[in-house]
């Protein structure tokens, strides 16, 4: 090492946060607000709030193909082009397939962002708390390992992050879906109100509620204070919101962290590994590859927060080998990379409503409806474990309502300029069990363009998920039929791991260092100054959208870490 002392000092921080997405942004905010000097790294490009959202204010006629992908894009992105999140208007936000090389022993759709802010820019924003039914499930059923925390441990942190992020929703008082600290609920479409009423009439125990979403139905001081304003109901969230009306790193946690004057953000920085001092049993910092210059740079810190998204975080740990950790940092248990989960979905039903012809709507709600889990709750017992919830919603078709196959001309034109039929859809999101054999690992020889080993996926949904899907499909159709919808069609469009972009597990929390990677504070059992607080930490998947839980776990772990630093424990 021939770095001089000044240079080392310039590269030294109190904390390094790897990744700038939902959890990384929270880590940066919490740690800087507690007085730490923080470096936040992201492999992606800089994306400036508002000015960086190039397509956000475009009219449809300003786009080339109305969202379609070109043949060239499909060729350069054979994997990303498999599904809708990658399209004409979001192209720049995602990594090129050629940069994001990975192998599939079994099909896995890996959506990797290429921007500061990560998937917090493109996320679906649905935000739900886990409950003790989730936290206790593994223990009660003898599956995988027990979560080291219970609802009471995380509940105050849910409240804490919700008040800042801003979650709109309706209080229900359900044990399986605890209420958040809500902003006002958004309205339902006429057809949704009808279906909600009929579900309540016909299906005791099933409830349809408005989606719980990280969009500001009414901006509070906590949000206006960082420059955010209320939702404009444009429903263009995934392009980036010029109003800062949904929670993202750029709209919320980044401005809060920048305000402290203690944050440095370094885009274009791929983390190669976390450096480790065997004598002190501490991580000493990170080794980074600059994606522009390919130069290797080292940064040093007292603590490291790993928030590179589930698969990114675990890749970094697996690649951080040493004499002490030949199989990856913190991997004494051998569980690192295992227990990979995602929600299974793309299944449900839809139908048309013949009522409501004299009704319409105003505005475009960036939110759907939600039917909380009701299977295997209370006295309900199925031939599978866990359960699912439904997302979905109503709509009234416009010019895309379709017409008779042979129709053309003035009559067809006039018909398409009038509102079409109301439609209603329910789409299930099911829990996937944490199977040890479902895993990602690093390829022994294949390297990506930065010389880092590429990821290989070997994960699949199994029998429990397959059985659950029968209910997911049939229940949806049954509810819509009872609700009086016509032409009800159910579907199963097949779901592969990764598609829901709710990848979880691979560095699970647990009580026993022999069977888990992280403890109840998201701290590596074996390296006390390294924390992993993104989806990698999840011990089980629940069936609800997970990001809100990452926020709460991150704020909680940051609080713990700083207290430990003050006690000189780390």
Partner 1 sequence: MNRRELIQRVTFMLGGVMAAPLMAGAMGEVLNSEPGLVADDLQERLLAEVADIIIPATSTPGAKEAGAHNFIIRVVRDCFTKDEQKKFYDGLGKLNDDSKSKFGKGFVDLTLPQKNEMIEDATVYNKDFFREMKNLTITGYFTSEIGATQALAYDPIPGRFDGCTTLEKGQKAWAL
Q: Note whether 380 and 374 are within 8 A (CB).
A: yes
Residue with tokens 């409830």: 207
Within its chain, how far is the Cα of 77 from the centroid? 21
How open is the CA angle 85-120-46, to the nearest 5 degrees? 95
- Residue reference for tokens 């398409």: 416
Closest CA to 104 of 334, 545, 446: 446
Three-state secondary-structure class, residue 38: strand
CB of 74 to partner 1, least distance (A): 6
The region of 74-82, 259-267, 270-278, 441-449 touching partner 1 under the rule CB under 8 A is 74-82
d(CA 168, CA 151): 21
From the list 48, 65, 277, 451, which residue makes contact with partner 1 (rule: CB under 8 A)?
Answer: 65
Cα-trace Rg, the chain: 24
Can you tell me whether residue 249 is helix, strand or coil? helix
Query: Out of 6, 295, 414, 463, which residue is the one contacting partner 1 (CB under 8 A)?
Result: 414
Among 46, 66, 159, 224, contact with partner 1 (rule: CB under 8 A): 66
C-beta closer to partner 1: residue 33 or 478: 478
Which listed residue (92, 381, 413, 447) binds partner 1 by CB under 8 A? 413
User: Residue 298 Cβ, how far from partner 1 at the closest point, in Å?
Assistant: 38
Task: Give the shortest CB-287-to-partner 1 separation in angstroms.
Answer: 34
In the window 123-182, what residues touch partner 1 (CB under 8 A)? none
Among 2, 4, 71, 152, binds partner 1 (CB under 8 A): 71
371 within 8 A of 362, measured Cβ to Cβ: no
- Bridge partners (DSSP) of residue 368 are none
Instruction: Provide, rounded to whole angstroms, the least separation between the CB of residue 56 and partner 1.
Output: 11
Footprint (CB under 8 A) of partner 1, residues 274-333:
none
Cα torsion 69, 390, 313, 222: sign: positive
- Residue 477, interface with partner 1 (CB under 8 A)? yes
Angstrom distance (rounded) from CA 69 to CA 61: 16
Q: Which residue has the tokens 């409240």?
A: 159
Give the range of 6-14, 114-122, 374-382, 398-406 binding partner 1 by CB under 8 A: 398-406
Burial category of 445 from C-beta neighbours within 10 Å (exposed 0-12, middle 13-18, buried 19 and up): exposed
**Closest CB to partner 1 among residues 313, 395:** 395
Which of 82, 150, 266, 467 touches partner 1 (CB under 8 A)? Answer: 82
Find all residues with CB under 8 Å of 109, minimum gap 6, and list them.
Answer: 79, 82, 83, 496, 497, 498, 499
Q: Which stretch binds partner 1 (CB under 8 A): 67-75, 112-120, 288-296, 333-341?
A: 67-75
Decide whether 194 or 503 has the Cβ nearer to partner 1: 194
**Cα 221 to chain centroid, rounded:** 26
b/e for 549-565, b at 16 or more Cβ within 10 A? bbbbbbbbbbbbbbebb
- Give how many residues touch partner 1 by CB under 8 A: 72
- Our CB check for partner 1 shows the closer of 7 and 466 to be 466
Residues in region 186-245 near partner 1 by CB under 8 A: 186-190, 192-193, 231-235
Give the end-to-end CA distance of the chain in Å, rounded to a whole number: 25
* Minimal distance, residue 378 CB to partner 1, in Å: 23
Q: Assess 383 for contact with partner 1 (CB under 8 A).
A: no
Using the contact rule CB under 8 A, the part of the chain among 22-30, 75-83, 330-338, 437-445 near partner 1 is: 75-83
How far is Cα 504 from Cα 534, in angstroms, rounded to an integer?
Answer: 8
What's the rounded Cα separation, in Å, for the pair 524 and 532? 7
Binding mask of the shown chain, residues 483 to 502, with x at each position contacting partner 1 by CB under 8 A: -----xxxxxxx--------
Closer CB to partner 1, 5 or 72, in the complex: 72
- Binding to partner 1, residues 435-474 (CB under 8 A): 473-474
Give the residue with the Cβ less far from partner 1, 37 or 206: 206
How crowded is residue 378: how many other Cβ atoms within 10 Å of its Cβ? Answer: 9
C-beta closer to partner 1: residue 241 or 270? 241
Near partner 1 by CB under 8 A, which window of 1-9, 52-60, 266-274, 559-567?
Answer: 52-60
Which lies closer to partner 1 via its Cβ, residue 296 or residue 412? 412
Hey, which residues between 344 and 363 contact partner 1 (CB under 8 A)? 349, 356-363
Tell me which of 416, 467, 526, 564 binds partner 1, using CB under 8 A: 416
Strands (E), 63-106: 102-104
Residue 414 CA to residue 388 CA, distance in Å, equals: 42
405 binds partner 1 (CB under 8 A): yes
* Span interacting with partner 1, options 122-130, 310-318, 396-404, 561-569, rule CB under 8 A: 396-404
């Amino acid at each position: 090492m021939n770095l001089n002392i000044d240079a080392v000092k310039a590269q030294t921080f109190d904390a390094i946060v790897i990744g700038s997405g939902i959890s990384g942004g929270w880590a940066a905010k919490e740690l800087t607000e507690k007085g730490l000097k923080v470096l936040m790294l992201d492999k992606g490009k800089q994306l400036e709030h508002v000015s960086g959202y190039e397509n956000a204010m475009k009219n449809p006629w300003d786009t080339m193909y109305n969202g379609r992908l070109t043949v060239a894009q499909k060729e350069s992105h054979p994997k990303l082009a498999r599904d809708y999140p990658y399209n004409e208007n979001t192209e720049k936000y995602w990594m090129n397939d050629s940069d994001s090389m990975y192998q599939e022993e079994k099909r896995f759709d890996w959506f990797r962002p290429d921007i500061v802010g990560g998937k917090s820019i493109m996320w679906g924003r649905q935000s739900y708390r886990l409950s003790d039914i989730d936290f206790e499930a593994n223990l009660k059923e003898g599956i995988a390992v027990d979560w080291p925390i219970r609802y009471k441990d995380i509940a105050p942190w849910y409240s804490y992050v919700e008040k800042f992020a801003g979650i709109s929703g309706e209080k229900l008082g359900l044990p399986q879906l605890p209420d958040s600290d809500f902003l006002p609920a958004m309205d339902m479409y006429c057809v949704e109100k009808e279906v909600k009423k009929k579900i309540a009439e016909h299906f005791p125990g099933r409830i349809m509620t408005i989606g719980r979403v990280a969009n500001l139905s009414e901006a509070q001081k906590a949000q206006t204070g960082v420059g955010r304003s209320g939702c404009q109901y444009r429903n263009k969230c995934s392009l980036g919101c010029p109003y800062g009306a949904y929670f993202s790193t750029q709209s919320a946690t980044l401005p809060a962290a920048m305000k402290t004057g203690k944050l440095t953000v370094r885009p274009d920085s791929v983390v190669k590994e976390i450096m480790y001092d065997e004598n002190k049993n501490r991580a000493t910092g990170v080794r980074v590859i600059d994606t522009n210059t390919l130069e290797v740079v080292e940064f040093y810190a007292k603590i490291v927060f790993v928030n590179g998204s589930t698969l990114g975080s675990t890749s970094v740990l697996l690649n951080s080998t040493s004499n002490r950790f030949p199989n990856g940092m913190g991997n004494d248990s051998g569980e690192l990379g295992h227990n990979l989960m995602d929600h299974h979905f793309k299944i449900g039903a839809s139908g048309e409503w013949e009522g409501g012809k004299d009704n319409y709507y105003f505005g475009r709600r960036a939110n759907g409806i939600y039917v909380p889990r009701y299977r295997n709750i209370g006295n309900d017992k199925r031939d599978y474990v866990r359960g699912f919830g439904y997302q979905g919603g109503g709509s009234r078709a416009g010019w895309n309502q379709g017409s008779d196959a042979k129709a053309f001309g003035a009559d067809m034109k006039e018909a398409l300029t009038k509102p079409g039929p109301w439609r209603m859809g329910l789409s299930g999101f099911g829990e996937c069990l944490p199977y040890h054999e479902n895993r990602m690992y690093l390829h022994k020889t294949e390297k990506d363009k930065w010389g880092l080993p590429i990821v290989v996926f070997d994960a699949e949904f199994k029998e429990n998920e397959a059985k659950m899907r029968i209910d997911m499909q049939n229940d949806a159709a049954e509810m819509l039929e009872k609700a009086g919808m016509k032409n009800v069609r159910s579907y199963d469009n097949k779901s592969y791991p990764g598609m829901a972009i709710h990848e979880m597990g691979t560095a699970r929390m647990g009580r026993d260092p022999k069977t888990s990677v992280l403890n109840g504070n998201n701290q590596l059992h074996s390296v006390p100054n390294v924390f992993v607080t993104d989806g990698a930490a999840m011990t089980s998947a629940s069936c609800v959208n997970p990001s809100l839980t990452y926020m709460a776990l991150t704020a909680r772990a940051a609080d713990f870490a700083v207290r430990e630093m003050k006690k000189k424990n780390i």
